[in-house]
Structure 1
Amino acid sequence: MGRSWRDGTGMLGVAEGVAVPLEIAASYRARRRGLLGRDGIDGALLLTPANSVHTLGMRFPIDVAHLDRHLRVLAVVTMRPGRIGLLRPRARHVLEAEAGAMAGWGLRAGARVVLTADPAPGA
């Protein structure tokens, strides 16, 4: 699964018939910014590569899903603003969404997700 991700958009396939809009943050700059300065997000944000996150400076609580190299969910946690998350050594990617969203999508530990990136402009 040596896929090289780029900043952009796409879709997150969670369960049968559940597709969620996805933002991809693959560059250092995009990962560093993450959801800071926002009041919410429609869909999810993929941070890649990443194995931990923090909510310092965030305005709203988020759900965090750690994914392994095969896009299998290792853990899902809800984090309030101002927290530092645990390091997940096997995690290669992190999904973030508004608190409660992942439960509504049926996303839980052990599930496998499908990530589809939109083509880059000019590609």
Structure 2
Amino acid sequence: MTTTKTIHFNSVILEVTIANQFFTRLRGLLFKTPLKQQEALLISPCKSVHTIGMYYAIDVVFLSADYRVLKIVERCVPRRMASCKQAKHTLELLAGEAHRLGVVEGMQLPFII
């Protein structure tokens, strides 16, 4: 079962789908239509992702256990990998969305699973 939460972030409403079970984490965004603005996928636990099999770029935001931004990989194109050893969660966004939303390293995101 997929869970979606509405998060208020920098005066923007963000619809976040939470992938916290084995198969939802494994699949991620594969074989899904591209994310839209104000949509995201939170994968937990997760410290690395790949875009093998995808046909569009994404922004990847690695988060600590308390949802602090540790690392941002903007416009991660298909057939690439990204990781952060310290990450507990990973947030995937439409390419360019992290910048548009004002996400920066060190900031705290308002997530509660």
TM-score scaled to structure 2, two decimals?
0.89
Matched, 1:71 2:59: no
1:13–1:115 contact (8 Å) kept in structure 2: no
2:73–2:82 contact (8 Å) kept in structure 1: no
Tell me the CA shift for residue 116 of structure 1. 4.5
Distance 2:48 2:7 in 1: 20
Equivalent residue for 2:33?
39
Identity %: 34
Q: CA RMSD in A?
A: 1.5
Tell me the CA shift for residue 14 of structure 1. 3.0
TM-score scaled to structure 1, two decimals?
0.83
What SS does the aligned partner of 1:95 have?
strand
One-letter code aligned to 1:110: G
Distance 2:8 2:48 in 1: 22
Equivalent residue for 2:98?
102
| Greater percentage in strand | 2
**1:14 alignment partner, one of 9, 12, 26:** 9
Q: Could you list the runs of 5+ residues in structure 1 that have no partner in the other structure?
A: 1-5, 118-123
Distance 2:112 2:87 in 1: 19
Equivalent residue for 2:79?
82
Distance 1:76 1:14 in 2: 17
- Count of aligned residue pairs for this structure pair: 110
> What does residue range 46-65 of structure 1 map to in structure 2 within 5 Å?
46-65=42-61
Matched, 1:114 2:93: no
1:11–1:116 contact (8 Å) kept in structure 2: no
Distance 1:59 1:70 in 2: 31
